[in-house]
Structure 1
Amino acid sequence: MPSLNFIKNVGPGALVAAAFIGPGTVTVCTLAGANFGYVLLWALLFATIATIIFQEMSGRLGTIAQKGLGEALRESLQHSIWRWPLFGLIALALYGGNAAYEAGNLSGAALGVSAILSGPSDASFTWTILSIATVAGLALWRGSYRQVERLLMVLVLFMGVAFIGTFVVSQPDLSAFAHGLFTPTLPDDSLITVVALIGTTVVPYNLFLHASAAKARWQGEADLPAARADSVISIGLGGLVAMFIVSTAAASLFSRGLGASSAADMAIQLEPLFGSFSKYLLGAGLLAAGLSSSLTAPLATAYAITEIINPKAKIRELIFRSVSLSVLIVGVVFALSGAKPINIIIGAQFANGLLLPIIAAFLLYTMNNKALLGKHTNGMLANGLGALVFLVSVGLGVRLVLKSLSVM
């Protein structure tokens, strides 16, 4: 049964989709649709294709070479004088950036759920964060890779149903949807939103997560077609969900001249237009997005740091779980500290902007290593597409760093 085989093969790609469809992405997509309608959908299409290109490479590395990206990085630089400074930079940026992302994910989910389900209050905000963190912590500490993968697949499916449901309920303009998807346009004051849409989709820590997950899931050339199909379909569906969120905001807010500053605002506006069901549907999607992202950021950090430091086998699992839980705990502390979620996200953007071009360049270098990948190195087309995405990532990184420093 081909359909059943496909379902069995879904895995690491779904982890990546779960990682980039978090509360931050939902908020950015909501603002894009509320402020500009359908015209910025092309940016999400580009970001989704770019993510598929790089994540396919990362999945191929794990499947064929049976190495995570952190492991390949350590082995490639083992004789370089830049080894430890570069390792330190990557570990610090990954840890700090993912802790900030974790705080943003938890804060975004709590704000959305509090506003939608019970009305905003300090108590509901705190309890939502602690509840999500407790479930995530138990899954990270006690769950095996396969158990965590299955949980994330369920959450991705749940998110898909919730956000597709709100898309259908909002009755979008399909002609405007198609035009915005395939006609690049930059309205006044839209550049920052375009950068944000790309930056919330092409995320460097997902490259570490995908290679390590593919290594755990697949072994060798025979599994490569399944790994590629998983990357294209899972990430493609994640990108489609993001487009549906933009379109829901465009149909429910932009077309009626209504404003919003978050997905929670959109949910409140949806209720009088389309009934309370739509509000709760969006609230459920936000909760699933927060929980899924709160799992993937700690996982990616633990994979990367464990592979880079390469501890002895008897303490490897302890270090892996300790790193993942510490990212979660730091994220909870930041989220409950009273710091504004937007300031937390700006810190994460800084780390993302600093790290993305470095990791993208190293991935391209690794994917041309014949000693590592044999005949499965990048061809001319893959290198050309990868170089194009790398150049965009450099521009994106510079823009995000300068924005974080308030230079632009």
Structure 2
Amino acid sequence: MGKSLEEVHESVSTQNKKSGFRKILAFLGPAYLISVGYMDPGNWATDLAGGSQFGYTLLWVLLMSNIMALLLQSLSARLGIVTQRDLAQASRETYSPFVNYILYFLAEIAIAACDLAEVLGMAIGLNLLFGLPLIEGVLITVLDTFLLLFLINKGMRKMEAFIIALVAIIGFSFVFEMIFAQPEVDKVFAGLIPSLPNEAALYIAISIIGATVMPHNLYLHSSLVQTRKFDRSKAGIKQALKYNLIDSTIALNLAFFVNAAILILAAATFHKNGYFEVAEIQDAHQFLEPLLGNKWAPILFAVALIAAGQSSTVTGTLAGQIIMEGYLNLRIQPWVRRIITRLIAIVPAVLVIWIYGESVTGKLLIFSQVILSLQLGFAIIPLIHFVSDKTKMNGFHIGKWTKIASWIIAATIVSLNAKLVYDEITGWMEASENPTWIWLTVVPTAFGFLFLLLFIVFKPFFTKSKTEFQNHSPHNLALKFSKTGTYSKKNIAISVDFSSSDEAAINNAFELGGNEAKYTLIHIVETVGAMVYGENIKDHETTIDEKLLEEYKIMLTQEGYKVETQLGFGAPDKVIPAIVNAGNFDILVMGTHGHTGFKDLIFGTTVDKLRHKISIPLFIVNK
């Protein structure tokens, strides 16, 4: 089983910190990457729409959403810390392949919807600051595909620092916006009392929930917490859970402040002055200066919008990689993954803007958040089941009251979504001259997803829990050995990846060195976590790979060979040369997978990249 974010898995050490404050600081970081998803451009659109149409009335929805988010993110962190699996990996090891493919498809839709909001937000920000047409701005957002690749090579702490800097820009911008707007404090507090003026308010409320409690953040958080290396004793895990809760509380309350500030700004400026239909971010920007009488208000608004879009796009990329690797056990090159995700968002954005004009971007942003909300149940319900399971959580399962609160949240979100879907389908039927196509397509699809949701809800209650997650690892240790050879090499490095190519590589190495040579088996953990956090990562895949390497060593030692092992972390074409050049090896033996052309583009060409970086001969073996 692969490690989640293998590139950075356990790359931030929390051990040997002398003071409690320094230990807390070592754990702080993952939740700030999560928090940017709670203040992305999609949130801006829903908050502006809510504030301009209903004044301060929907502030309670933001507060409720923040409480929901805090509980759900703490469950996600608990899953990652205790089981060393992210939510996608846990799902793949629990459900059948058919169910997992559907869950993966839904998760990808959520990622695309989220990325659509980020694309539009960045394009709008560039348009407001520099006058760039929206379509050109959307196309330019392809370039930030490579920002994550740059940041991930700089290490996790630098990435976190970059994100926190962007969050700080957003926060300070809205501190000044609040000073300019001077909201009515009594109405702000009144807005914290639950009420829904009409059906339109329900639609906005659901989109606010979808924008605030984001499904991809549940996948991301369960992975990012595994980037901290800590004592795996009971006391160490308890401490990690406590510090991550502190991290989440601080970060998500900052996100709540930003969202509340946007809604309050819209209420204090647009709603107060009779502008009830300001759902477009461009309109909000345009009206700020005349309504507030300050030229800095629209500039700070646009700068904060760009910071929100850019920070969200980084974390969205990581979430997409986690979901693909977790559900499909498929790892492709990060830049390919990023471009695919970005294109899925850019194509519909360009088409809609081209056909309907720039005036529909606000509606498109809100619609993207409703899609996120619809997908929430398929992420929340498995998460609650996983963290409630005593055996899988090794005694760190959630308590009775936490479980009740979690199910209330899940029931609330699913019920609101069910009403929204019912109302939408009913509206389509009434407006359609021939509703037959709706009965043949939309209705069966809705019932299909309802059945899947009910299956996920009730299956664990009727199926006995396994003592642990299944391991669907593709690794194969059934090797056959040959001992004939010329025996000319004394110190041989062998790159292994626990695939069928290992057998050919190991046997060819034996032919070179025989029983007299010393062999070093090198395996590289190459998840996103390992790339960012390096050797400090300690997730499930690292643990499994360590065990598999040890099994190789035992198996080969029993055959009479002298074997050592070395585990590396990150991109193989960089880490293998570093290990080889640092050691006193005579030759490096590698097996190949035999794919060429398009597959090389997707999966990478490790051999071609590393052969120029090593100072010893490279022996390539085709399986």
TM-score where L is the length of structure 1:
0.88
Query: Which gives a bigger RCO, structure 1 or 2 (Cα 8 Å, sep 6+)?
Result: 1
Equivalent in 324, 327, 340 of residue 341 of structure 2: 327
Farther-moved stretch of structure 1 (244-253 vs 334-343): 334-343
Question: 159, 164, 172: which is aligned to 2:170?
Answer: 159
Closer/same/farther in 2, CA of residues 303 and 288 from structure 1, 3 Å limit: same
Once the 2 structures are TM-superposed, how far is the Cα of residue 373 of structure 1 from its aligned partner? 1.8
1:178 pairs with one of 189, 197, 200: 189
Unaligned stretches of 5+ residues in structure 2: 1-18, 354-359, 429-623
Moved more, 102-111 or 357-366: 102-111
Deviation at 1:387, TM superposition (A): 0.7
Task: Indicate the structure with greater helix content.
Answer: 1
2:272 aligned counterpart, secondary structure: helix
Structure 1 residue 276: deviation in Å?
Answer: 0.9
- 2:138 alignment counterpart: 129
Q: Tell me whether 225-234 or 393-402 shows the greater mean CA deviation.
A: 393-402
Query: What is the distance in 1 between the residues matched to 2:424 and 2:320?
Result: 22
Give me the whole-angstrom Cα distance separating, in 2, the residues matched to 1:253 and 1:343: 18
Query: For residues 262-273 of structure 1, what are the structure 2 equivalents within 5 Å?
Result: 262-272=280-290, 273=292
- Please say if 1:256 is aligned against 2:273: yes
Query: Is the contact made by 2:45 and 2:366 (CA closer than 8 Å) also made in structure 1?
Result: no
Equivalent of residue 111 in structure 2, options 89, 98, 102: 98
d(CA) in 2 for partners of 1:218 and 1:157?
27
The Cα of 1:351 is off from its aligned counterpart by 4.6
Relative to structure 1, is the Cα distance of residues 104 and 393 closer, same or farther in structure 2, using a 3 angstrom cutoff? same
What displacement does 1:127 show?
A: 4.2
Does residue 402 of structure 2 align to residue 391 of structure 1?
Answer: no
Q: Give the fraction of aligned pairs with identical amino acids, expressed as a percent.
A: 25
Secondary structure at the counterpart of residue 190 of structure 1:
helix
More deviation in 331-340 or 381-390?
331-340
Structure 1 stretch displaced more, 266-275 or 321-330: 321-330
Q: Deviations over 1:274-316 (max 9, x none)?
A: 31101101111111111122222222121011012224xxxx4
Are the aligned partners of 1:93 and 1:351 in contact in 2 as well (CA < 8 Å)? no
Q: 1:403 to 1:161 in 2, by over 3 A?
A: farther
Tell me the amino acid that sits aligned with residue 214 of structure 2.
Answer: V
- 1:295 and 1:405 map into 2 onto residues whose CA distance is 35
Q: Does 1:372 align with 2:392?
A: yes
- Give 1:191 shift: 1.7
* AA of the residue aligned to 1:150: A
Match of 1:362 among 365, 368, 382: 382
Letter in 1 for 2:405: L
Give the structure 1 partner of residue 67 of structure 2: 49
Most deviating of 201-210 and 334-343? 334-343
Q: Distance in 1 between matches of 2:166 and 2:123?
A: 17
Q: Label 1:268 to 1:76 Cα distance change in 2 as closer, same or farther (>3 A).
A: same
Q: Which residue is equivalent to 1:301?
A: 320
Q: Deviations over 1:161-187 (max 9, x none)?
A: 112221222111112111212x11222
* C-alpha contact 2:42 2:368 (8 A) present in aligned 1: no
1:228 counterpart residue number:
245
Question: In the aligned structure 2, how far is the partner of 1:3 from the partner of 1:126?
Answer: 48
Q: Is the 8 A contact 1:96 1:348 kept in 2?
A: no
Q: Deviations over 1:342-378 (max 9, x none)?
A: 6755774565354321221101110012222223211
- Find the counterpart in structure 2 of residue 13 from structure 1: 31
- Residue 379 of structure 1 deviates from its aligned partner by 0.2
* Count, aligned residues: 393
d(CA) in 1 for partners of 2:39 and 2:87? 22
292-301 vs 206-215, greater mean Cα deviation: 292-301
In the superposition, the TM-score normalised over structure 2's length comes to 0.59
Kept in 2, the 8 Å contact 1:13–1:235? The answer is: yes
Change (3 A) 1:109 1:383: same
Q: Deviations over 1:375-397 (max 9, x none)?
A: 32110111011011010121133
Match of 2:301 in 1: 282
The structural deviation recorded for 1:257 is 1.6
Distance 2:129 2:21 in 1: 37
Counterpart CA distance in 2 for 1:58 and 1:29 is 26
User: What SS does structure 1 have at the residue aligned with 2:195?
Assistant: coil
CA distance in 1: counterparts of 2:289 and 2:367, whole angstroms: 34
SS of equivalent residue, structure 1 residue 371: coil
**Structure with a larger share of its residues in strand:** 2
Q: Is the 8 A contact 1:141 1:325 kept in 2?
A: no
Query: C-alpha displacement at 1:235, in angstroms?
Result: 1.1
In structure 2, relative to structure 1, the CA distance for the partners of 1:264 and 1:218 (3 Å cut) is farther
Residues 1-10 or 211-220, more deviating = 1-10
2:246 alignment partner AA: A
Counterparts of 2:20 and 2:178, CA distance in 1: 29
Q: Which residue of 2 aligns with 1:80?
A: none
Q: Which residue of 1 aligns with 2:179?
A: 168
Report deviation, 1:153.
1.9
